[in-house]
Amino acid sequence: MALKTYFSFQEIQHDLQLGNLSCLDLVNDYIEKIHSQNDINAFLEIFEKSAVESAKLVDQKIKSGKAGRLAGLVIGIKDNICYKDHKVSASSKILEGFESVYSATVVERLLNEDAIIIGRLNCDEFAMGSSNENSAFGKVKNPLNKKMVPGGSSGGSTAAVAAGMCLAALGSDTGGSIRQPASFCGVVGLKPTYGRVSRHGLIAYASSFDQIGPITHNVEDAALILEVIAGKDEYDGTASSVPVKNYSALNFTGKAKIAYIRECLENEGLDPEIRSKINDTIAELKAAGHTVEAVDFPYLDYLVPAYYVLTTAEASSNLNRFDGVHYGYSSPNSFDLESTYKKTRSEGFGPEVKRRIMLGTFVLSAGYYDAYYSKAQKVRRVLTDKTNEILTDYDFILLPSTPGTAFEFGQKSGDPIKMYLEDIFTVQANLTGIPAISLPMGKHSNGMPFGIQLMAARFEEEKLLAFSKLMISLTDIKESSKAL
C-alpha cells in the first residue's frame, strides 16, 4: 500500500517517532514512485541498493536513539555532485559510465546526519542551460505540465521534488540554476552565499560562481539542510570559515527594510501577472509594518553579458580536463593524440557546451582578453559595489525569480540570447556572491507556478530564511507546490 505523500521533513520525523513509519517503508515508497512517474526523466539513476541499505541502518539508529538530525530525509542529488562508488556524469556523454572515487563534502555531511540519498538527477549538460533541454540523456519534463520545461540547469532536481519522487534535492546554482527551475516547478530554491557551502566534489562549470544549495517544499527543510551542509572545508580553499548559524530557528524579529529594484519591476519583459502579484505582495508587506521602497539599479542590462563572458571563460578552462586521455569518454575514431583530443571533445560534448567553450576561449584569447574578460571583471566589481550599497541601507532586495512562467519545449532553444535572458533576475546574486531564495507565489492564469525572489547581504542566510518564513505567513505566497 502506498504511503501518504509527505511535504515536510517534520511530518516524516513525527511519524517515525510514533512508529507509524519506517525509513525502509519510506525509501521503498519513493522507489515505486520514481519507477511509476519517471516518464518526466528527472532521475538518471536510482541508488536502490545503497538507499535500502541506508534505510535499514537508519531505522536501527532511530530505535537505539542514535539517529542523526536528518534521519528519514530522502534526498536526490544533481548529476554533477560526486558520491563515492556511484556514477556521476554531469549529464554529458563525455562522462557516461564514470564512477566517482570519492564523495563530495555535501554528500559526506548529509550521510553523517543519516540522510538517505536515493539517486542522481538529470540536469543540463555540465549545468549549462535554463530549460533542461541540453542533457545528453534526454530532456526533463515539468511534472505540472509535461509540455513545458522544468527550468535549468537543476531541472531534474526541482522536477523530482515537485513530483514527490523525493522529499528534497541538492542542486547547483551558477546563475540561477536552482532558483529559476524552483520558480517554474513551484518549490523553494535556495542559493547560499558563495563559499558558504563547500564545492569539493561538485563538477565545476564556473568556479567563482557555482554554489550548491537545497530544493525543498518549504523554508524549514531548506534551512535545516543548509545548516548541515554549510561550513568550512579543508578540501575547498574558497569555503568560508564564517561560523554556521542556527538557520533552522527561523526567528525574525522587528520590522524589515526591503528594497525592490525599480528596473526589474518595470522591465518590459516581465509578465504582467507576475508584476501584479509582486505589487500585491509589496502592499501586504507594507500593511504589516515593513518598509518597502523602490531603488534604482541602472546596471540591469549589464548583468547577463558580464555573467556569460565570465562564466564561459571559466568553463573553457575547467572543461580542458575532459580530453579522452585521463578519464571518461574517448573517441573510438581517433588515431593519434591530436585526433583523440579533437574527436573526443567534438563527439563527447553537446552543442551548448561547445558553444560556451568556444565563447570562453575567444574572450580569453590574446587579442580580446582586455576588451571582454578584463572589462567584464570590472563590471562585476561595479555590480557588487552597487548591490552592497543597497544592502547597507536595506535588509533585503525583493525581485521576480523569472520574467515569466515555464515555456514549451523548443520555444527558446533555437535562440541562445532569448534563453540566456531567462537568467536576467537571478545572475545578480551569483555575480555578487550574495545569498538568494525563490519562494512559490502561486499559479499564473496559464496554470503554471512562478516565484518571488529575496536576496540578502553575504552570509545573512539566517536572516534571509527567517524573513522568508515570516513573509509566507504575512502574504498570499504559497509555501510549497502542494498548495498549487
Report the length, in residues, of the chain: 484
DSSP secondary structure code for residue 126 in this structure: G
DSSP secondary structure code for residue 371 in this structure: I
Catalytic residue among 8, 54, 103, 177: 177
Does 198 participate in catalysis according to the annotation? no
Q: Residue with C-alpha cell 541499505?
A: 53
Contacting residues for 170 by C-beta, under 8 A, at least 6 apart = 75, 76, 77, 78, 81, 106, 110, 157, 212, 213, 214, 215, 225, 229
Does 78 participate in catalysis according to the annotation? yes
Distance CA 111, CA 176 (A): 26
Does 153 participate in catalysis according to the annotation? yes
Contact 372, 363 (CB under 8 A): yes
Catalytic residue among 153, 157, 172, 401: 153
- Cβ-based burial of 351 (10 A; exposed 0-12, middle 13-18, buried ≥19): exposed
Report helix angle 105-112 to 219-229, nearest 10. 110
What is each CA distance from 71 to 15, 24, 65, 364, 379, in whole angstroms?
12, 11, 11, 47, 45
> For residue 75, what are the β-bridge partners?
117, 168
Contact 135, 157 (CB under 8 A): no
Catalytic residue among 33, 78, 139, 469: 78
DSSP secondary structure code for residue 369 in this structure: I
Distance CA 159, CA 119 (A): 13
Distance CA 300, CA 428 (A): 9
Q: Max alpha carbon distance in the chain (Å)? A: 71
The backbone torsions φ and ψ at residue 108, rounded to the nearest 5 degrees and listed phi first, read: -60, -40
Task: Identify the CA nearest to 126 among candidates 156, 95, 91.
Answer: 91
**Which residues are marked as active site?**
78, 153, 177
